[in-house]
DNA sequence: GCTTTTAATGAATCGTTCG
DNA sequence: TCGAACGATTCATTAAAAG
């Protein structure tokens, strides 16, 4: 146990660069940092139902330009590196707005990148204007303080167990922090704009620290890092600029009870079969655009398009849409399972395209 | 069709920075780039059974330090930006070794990031030493040439169809390029170390280009970009430093047959349909002055005037204006699509007036 | 009490055309 | 070039309200 025990399990209020400068060097086992993302939002965004999106437009996320953001990033990373033990590791989380600048800064400051981890959100906010891909993930970078030191903590076996006996991969599928876990203020609104789910911190802390280790979070916010650290028997140092958030975090953590590790194992992953979009059969070449599909009798035919739609001529004119939509339309039925309705001739046999879906599932195992 | 047709559908051998300098500026619709990853492997890597992993250790992947890699990256990105049309977009792909430096360079060169995309590999190479998470993904960055230009190509509807009616997300699950698709040399070994799956290029090209567009790949390698571009009715310019790889790509692409044009046209977006002024419905008798329109619930009503305006009594007095203006006002919303907001009773059903617009469009064919 | 509908919301760099 | 007008656009969850 280090002697600086007095500093741990506390939330310090102030600028993280200043406060880290006061901490003894080489005293921290792991850093988790969720800094401002520098979102650069232009105007208000409305949903199709005309409601306004509650965006992150706080002052703490505003930077004049990339150079200002880089200066800030390098300053706190440098301070964090001094405080880390030689065998320590750091986690940072960000989106495409800032994560490339953080990754570059980490490499320039001689951190050694171990992995980039993708947090796949099961329930992200959609892209309301249809102008981009749904931004459905955030990126974490996990890095060692030094290239040379190879004795950093990585609880390989524990993570493998968490993943049902398979090596934990670099993509983690987890829901957003919503519902009862999301801290609310008096009026029922979210108390902090960017509260992270505890499951995310659980996995980072479980992977890269041991019970009794000291974990530093320089952008403590609502205190998720502290809550999970306490629950998993780790110590923590939180730094937060906003006194109200710091107080919120203190109260939250005070209510947390440390638990034996076996009681906090996450829910096992769902075993359901993965959904296979029809389009992937085309993208991977199992089906060719222009191919002809037919109903079980062979009387109704339709043509496969490159975008995964079918086209055919129905009683009321041209039809184009998904395998399910066109299948329903040609039958005059309210709905249709296109996977079992549409068939393709293969080796002289007429097989449902569900057969191709099974092949695809096997490939994607 | 542009006049520089002579340059497209060719594989040029040489340094991509030199060759791009010879191309006319603003002549390319989309760039796809899979540059060297700067892997920095310390020594040979062995599997648990002591077999050696066939890692990427070619000379083209060796850079002395980050500064050298950055200089190279900025030089080819700058050249690519000059060659791009003002509304063009660029895709780059990389791993954590180099993608942060590419993202930073893109931002510094005033590209405007649109998405980062995660390619989740269904069958990644495991981590043999158990010292890190299985590196199971690579990252693509999709960026517009300019922040201002918002008319870049994004075939939203086509991508949505490829994903069975749901918005395409920023995480794509696709298998590695293996089996018959993987090009082999005479002795049965892989002909190129980093051949990308055609399914990956299919999605990029389908999303961000139209048939006939020119797609430039400055690190052509085995020519996956060219093969998929040709198949989807796009033109391409490939640049490859290694004459043997260029020849491999030429032969590969020569065997590709373009799909029929009708099969590769993306599903058209609604905004590309001809504009119908509301007043035409009245002029042509589809709607009669004096008719009553209502909101979806039927609670709010308005009266159609002969000049194509609506009039109603709102909470703050009489309102009169376009279907959009009045719709916004009665909802207290900043804007409103009057076509979908206002309904009319027809054969006992309440239908949006967009239904009448569809009839009008059909008549005007 | 139970089921069905409706409403709310999440780190968002989210438009195009015409006069 | 700029302002005004047109009009295109959402998924998974949770929770409250309605039946």
Given this model, what pLDDT does residue B232 score? Answer: 97
State residue B94's pLDDT score: 98
Please judge whether A118 and B115 are an interchain contact, meaning their C-beta atoms are less than 8 angstroms apart.
Answer: no
Q: Do B131 and A154 touch (CB under 8 A)?
A: yes
Q: Are strands B235-240 and A235-240 parallel, antiparallel or unpaired?
A: unpaired
| Mean pLDDT in residue range B195-212 | 98
Which of B103, B133, B206, B258 is the best mutation test for A, with the most CBs of A within 10 A?
B133
Is residue B236 within 8 Å of B217, Cβ to Cβ?
A: yes
pLDDT over 90 at A21, yes or no: yes
Rounded-to-10 torsion of CA B125, B131, B133, B138? -50
Tell if A130 CB is < 7 Å from nucleic strand D: yes
Contact A277 B163 (CB under 8 A): yes
Tokens for A298, please give them. Answer: 């062979």
Q: Are A307 and B162 in contact (CB under 8 A)?
A: yes
**Distance (Å, whole) CA A255 – CA A212:** 19
A319 within 8 A of A311, measured Cβ to Cβ: yes
What mean pLDDT comes out for the span B213-225? 98
Residues A73, A81 contacting (CB under 8 angstroms): no
In percent, the amount of chain A with pLDDT more than 90 equals 71
pLDDT mean over A17-35? 97
Please determine, for residue A264, whether its predicted confidence score (pLDDT) is greater than 80.
Answer: no
Tokens of B84: 């791009």
Looking only at the bridges linking them, the beta strands covering A28-33 and A214-217 are parallel
The reply to whether residue B122 touches residue A303, judged by beta carbons under 8 angstroms, is: no
Structure tokens at A182: 């999301």
Stretch among A41-45, A183-187, A316-320 having the lowest mean pLDDT: A316-320
Which residues lie across from B92 on neighbouring strands? B33, B141
Residue A223: CB atoms within 10 A of its CB come to 28
Taking the C-alpha atoms of residue B278 and residue B283, their distance in angstroms, rounded to an integer, is 9
Q: CA angle at residue A288 from A283 to A293, to 5 degrees?
A: 120
Return the DSSP state at B134.
Answer: B
- Contact flag B175-A284 (C-beta cutoff 8 Å): yes
B36-61: pLDDT as tens digits: 986 554 455 555 565 666 767 666 55
**Tens of pLDDT along B134-189?**
999 999 999 999 998 779 999 999 999 999 999 999 999 999 999 999 999 989 99
Closest of A360, A362, A361, A286 to residue B181, by C-alpha: A286
Map tokens 């979908």 to a residue. Answer: B340
Contact by Cβ (8 Å): A344, A353:
yes
Cβ-Cβ contacts under 8 Å, A130 against chain B: 156, 167
Q: What is residue B64's predicted lDDT score, i.e. its pLDDT?
A: 62
Q: Which pLDDT belongs to residue A263?
A: 55
Q: Residue B168: CA atoms inside 13 Å, Cβ hemisphere, count?
A: 31
C1'-nearest nucleotide to the CA of A45: C14
Confidence of residue A261 (pLDDT cuts 50, 70, 90): low
Residue B92 pLDDT > 90: yes
Backbone angles phi, psi at B206, to 5 degrees: -60, -40
The residue ranges of every structural domain in chain B are 10-271, 273-364
Of chain A, the percentage scoring pLDDT greater than 70 comes to: 93
Give the integer Cα–Cα distance in Å for A20 and B351: 63
Mean pLDDT estimate for chain A: 90
Whether B234 and B206 have beta carbons less than 8 Å apart is answered as no
Residue B88 Cα distances to A195, A253, B84, angstroms = 36, 50, 6
Q: Which two tokens stand for residue B216?
A: 């430039």
A126 CB neighbours in chain B (<8 A) are 167
Tokens 């290029």 label which residue? Answer: B201
CA distance A195 to chain B (A): 21
- List residues bridging with B216 in a β-sheet: B31, B237
Name every residue whose Cβ is closer than 8 Å to that of residue A349 and which is 6 or more positions away in sequence: none
Nearest-CA distance from B22 to chain A in Å? 31
The closest of A170, A173, A227 to A198, measured between CA atoms, is A227
Given a cut of 90, whether residue B90 has pLDDT beyond it is: yes
Residues pairing with B46 in the sheet: B52
Please answer yes or no on whether A171 and B124 come within 8 Å at the CB atom.
no
Residue of chain B whose Cα is closest to the Cα of A323: B164
B102-107: average pLDDT:
98
pLDDT of A5 higher than 70: no
What's the pLDDT band for A114 if we cut at 50, 70, 90?
very high
Highest mean pLDDT (candidates A109-118, A286-295, B341-350): A109-118
Among residues A198, A102, A120, A136, which one has the least CA distance to residue B137?
A120
Contact across the interface for B171 and A363, Cβ inside 8 Å: no
Among A99, A114, A290, the residue with its CB nearest the CB of B263 is: A290
Mean pLDDT of B84-112: 97
Q: Is the pLDDT of residue B209 over 70?
A: yes
CB of A184 within 8 A of CB of A205?
A: no
Beta strands of chain B (E only): which ranges?
10-13, 28-33, 84-94, 112-121, 137-144, 171-174, 214-217, 235-240, 292-294, 301-304, 310-314, 317-321, 343-346, 349-352
Backbone phi and psi for residue A81, each to the nearest 5 degrees, phi listed first: -65, -35
Burial class (CB in 10 A: 0-12, 13-18, 19+), B26: middle
Residue A139 parent element (H or E): strand A137-144
The predicted pLDDT at position B352 comes to: 87
Of B107, B137, B267, the CB nearest to A307: B267
Give pLDDT tens digits for A162-207. 787 789 999 999 999 999 999 999 889 999 999 999 999 999 999 9
What integer pLDDT is reported at residue A111 of this predicted model?
96
CB contacts of B162 in chain A (<8 Å) are 277, 279-280, 282-283, 307-308
Q: Is the CB of B154 under 7 A from strand D?
A: no
**Sheet of A214-217, strand order:** A10-13, A235-240, A214-217, A28-33, A84-94, A137-144, A112-121, A171-174
- Whether A238 and A215 have beta carbons less than 8 Å apart is answered as no
Rounded Cα distance between B197 and B177, Å, is 4
CA–C1' B176–C11 (A) = 31
| Alpha carbons within 13 A on the beta-carbon side of A21 | 7
Q: Kindly report which amino acid residue has its CA closest to the C1' atom of nucleotide D14.
A: A179
Closest CA to B218 of B103, B72, B105, B71: B72
Domain A10-271, architecture per CATH: 3-Layer(aba) Sandwich (3.40)
Distance (Å) from the C-alpha of residue A179 to the closest C-alpha of chain B? 23
d(CA A161, CA A138): 24
Q: Specify the 3-state DSSP secondary structure of A228.
A: helix
Nucleotides of D under 7 A from a protein CB: 5-15
Measured between beta carbons, the chain B residues lying within 8 angstroms of A94 are none
Residue B131 confidence (pLDDT) above 70:
yes
């Amino acid at each position: 146990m280090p002697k600086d025990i007095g500093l741990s399990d506390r939330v310090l209020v102030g600028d993280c660069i200043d406060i880290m400068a006061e901490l003894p060097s080489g005293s921290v086992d792991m850093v988790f940092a969720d800094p401002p993302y520098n979102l650069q939002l232009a105007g208000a965004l409305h949903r199709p139902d005309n409601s306004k999106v509650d965006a992150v437009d706080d002052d703490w996320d505003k930077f004049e330009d990339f150079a200002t953001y880089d200066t800030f990033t390098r300053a706190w990373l440098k301070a964090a590196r001094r405080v880390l033990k030689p065998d320590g590791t750091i986690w940072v989380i960000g989106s495409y707005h800032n994560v490339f600048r953080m990754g570059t800064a980490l490499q320039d400051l001689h951190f050694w990148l171990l992995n980039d981890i993708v947090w796949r959100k099961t329930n992200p906010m959609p892209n309301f204007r249809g102008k981009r891909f749904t931004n459905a993930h955030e990126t974490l970078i996990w890095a060692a303080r030094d290239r040379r030191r190879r004795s950093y903590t990585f609880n390989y076996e524990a993570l493998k167990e968490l993943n049902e006996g398979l090596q934990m991969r670099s993509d983690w599928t987890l829901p957003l922090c919503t519902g009862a876990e999301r801290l609310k203020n008096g009026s029922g609104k979210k108390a902090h704009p960017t509260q992270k789910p505890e499951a995310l911190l659980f996995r980072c802390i479980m992977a890269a620290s041991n019970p009794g280790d000291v974990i530093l979070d320089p952008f403590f916010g609502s205190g998720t890092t502290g809550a999970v650290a306490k629950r998993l028997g780790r110590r923590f140092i939180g730094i937060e600029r906003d006194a109200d958030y710091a107080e919120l975090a203190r109260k939250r953590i005070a209510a947390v009870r440390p638990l034996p590790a076996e009681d906090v194992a996450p829910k096992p992953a769902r075993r359901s079969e993965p959904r296979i979009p029809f389009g992937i059969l085309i993208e991977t070449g199992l089906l060719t655009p222009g191919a002809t599909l037919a109903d079980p009798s062979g009387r109704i035919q339709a043509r496969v398009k490159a975008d995964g739609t079918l086209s055919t001529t129905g009683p009321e004119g041209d039809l184009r849409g998904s395998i399910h939509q066109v299948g329903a339309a040609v039958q005059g039925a309210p709905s249709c399972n296109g996977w079992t309705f549409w068939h393709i001739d293969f080796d002289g046999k007429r097989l449902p395209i569900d057969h191709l879906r099974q092949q695809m599932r096997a490939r994607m195992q």
